[in-house]
Amino acid sequence: MPVTVTGPDQKTYQFPDGTDKAAAISYFKKKGIGAVANPTPSTQPGFVQRLGEATGVPTSRKELEAAKPTFTDALLGPAGMAGKAIYGYGKNLVNEGKIAAKSGDTDSYAPEARFLLRGVLGPVGGTGIANAGTDIKSGNVRGAGGDVLGSLINAFLLKKGATPAAEGSANKLAFAAGKDTAAPIRNTLSDLRKTASSGPKPQSLDDFLSVVSNASKNMSKEVANALGPIAHTQIIPTSISQRIKALITPNMAQTIDGQRDMARINNAAAEFQKPWTLGELDAERAEINQRLNPFYNKSEGNQYAALVNRNTAIDKAIADTIRDTIYPRMDLAAGKPQGYFRALKQRQGDLMDLHSSLKSEAARLKDSTARIQGGPRLSRENVSLHASPTGAPRAALYGLLDAIKKPNPLAVANKRVAQGFSRGNRPARFVTDTLPFRQTLFPQSEETK
């Protein structure tokens, strides 16, 4: 009698009487009848299993046991767990590379795509996307639902946990800091974020002031560290002397005032025809900058007009040339790219301007809020009387919401500071940051391989 055998594809095959199991397997191999192409519903991964695979959450005892730290992991601590995760990622990468190298064993899509999704991007959500393609093609609707939902959860948590875009953060901080602060905040946002990240998240204007102050102090330390090793280097700064003498114009010799200006210029130039240390030059630059602060705060047109003052012109020539002399040497000494310390000092100037503006705005908002909170709830500003068309008096409430709940402009500004320094939702960031680690701790189901 013929022998009936169920093949790997779940179809029924008949063989001649006497056919053994080995012969049937040999037949299936020759005919290319391999793994189940369309598994029955009972063998297909379900919604929960696929959701867990996409989000890195164990859904079976086997996966849970694999995710538990071993005694060795406990001894090695975080380093041991990290090593285990790295080993799991490398092992999966090798396995997927082998599968991709075999023609015909690619889940019906390009080997390169499989290797990218299941191998390279597997620990960061690629598995869910790859599973979705496989499940949709095989008609596994429940499994595909888990794949899609898991991928959407990963995307949502990634967005919630991400640091806000620079432009949005700068705008919120500028709203809190007040008028004319947008430009300095944009120019120094990376410095502000870096400083803020080293401590508790700023929650108020006072916290914002501390961040600005600490960022400027950090820059001063970096400058001091770069200048320190070369501070005692002695030079004769003839370039400064020449820059000062360049202020002399031919017409000066024709007038008494001009001759006086020439003498003043030549005297200033003579001061830089002798040895100076780089440290002394930097101290001179800092002192001159204090004198030039009113000049730097002027508009470009007004600065041009202010240079008619010979003392201002001399000071600016000295300060500019000292910067040209010192900063390149500091870049070289600290191993920084050319122009690094010039740009750093410019940003520090922005921080100083921001600190001044922010301090004034904080004082203004505190005063305004105190007067609002201390004032009467109902006053002439929000209650008035007027005559109706019939001549009868009628009361009108203006700013009714203000009467119910008093405005608090300081609280509004503080809220914008917290939003501007947001580091993303902490729980969401924890989940997304640990996804690669969790994905490599427990094996995937055989159906996904």
Q: Which residue has the higher pLDDT, 138 or 348?
A: 348
| Torsion from C-alpha of 92, 95, 96, 98, nearest 10 degrees | 160
pLDDT category at 39 given cuts 50, 70, 90 is very low
Q: How far apart are CA 418 and CA 207, in angstroms?
A: 9
Phi first, then psi, for residue 383 (nearest 5°) are -130, 130
Average pLDDT (142-160) is 76
Q: How far apart are CA 5 and CA 82, in angstroms?
A: 48
Kindly tell me if the per-residue pLDDT of 104 is higher than 60. no
pLDDT at 304: 75
pLDDT at 177: 94
Q: Which of 155-169, 352-366, 393-407 has the lowest mean pLDDT?
A: 393-407
- Residue type, position 445, single letter: S
Q: Which residue has the higher pLDDT, 71 or 335?
A: 335
Joined together, the tokens standing for residue 245 give 């003498």
Kindly tell me if the per-residue pLDDT of 211 is higher than 90. yes
pLDDT at 135: 74
Distance, CA of 365 to chain centre: 29
CB 76 within 8 A of CB 86: no
Average pLDDT (191-213) is 95
Q: Which residue has the higher pLDDT, 57 or 229?
A: 229
pLDDT category at 149 given cuts 50, 70, 90 is confident
Q: Which of 150-164, 254-268, 314-328, 376-390 has the lowest mean pLDDT?
A: 376-390
pLDDT at 121: 63
Kindly tell me if the per-residue pLDDT of 83 is higher than 70. no
Placement of tokens 């000049």 in the chain: 295
pLDDT category at 106 given cuts 50, 70, 90 is very low
Q: Which residue has the higher pLDDT, 6 or 85?
A: 6
pLDDT category at 392 given cuts 50, 70, 90 is low
Phi first, then psi, for residue 392 (nearest 5°) are -80, 140
Kindly tell me if the per-residue pLDDT of 78 is higher than 70. no
Nearest-10 crossing angle of helices 205-227, 182-196: 80
Average pLDDT (401-429) is 78
Joined together, the tokens standing for residue 366 give 């505190």
Q: Which of 28-37, 208-217, 319-328 has the lowest mean pLDDT?
A: 28-37
Identity of the highest mean pLDDT range in 3-17, 262-276, 364-378 = 262-276
Kindly tell me if the per-residue pLDDT of 319 is higher than 90. yes
Q: How far apart are CA 183 and CA 174, in angstroms?
A: 9
Q: How far apart are CA 216 and CA 21, in angstroms?
A: 80
Q: Which of 100-104, 252-256, 262-266 has the lowest mean pLDDT?
A: 100-104
Average pLDDT (115-144) is 70
Query: What are 89-99's pLDDT values in tens digits?
Result: 666 666 666 66
- Average pLDDT of the residues of the chain: 78
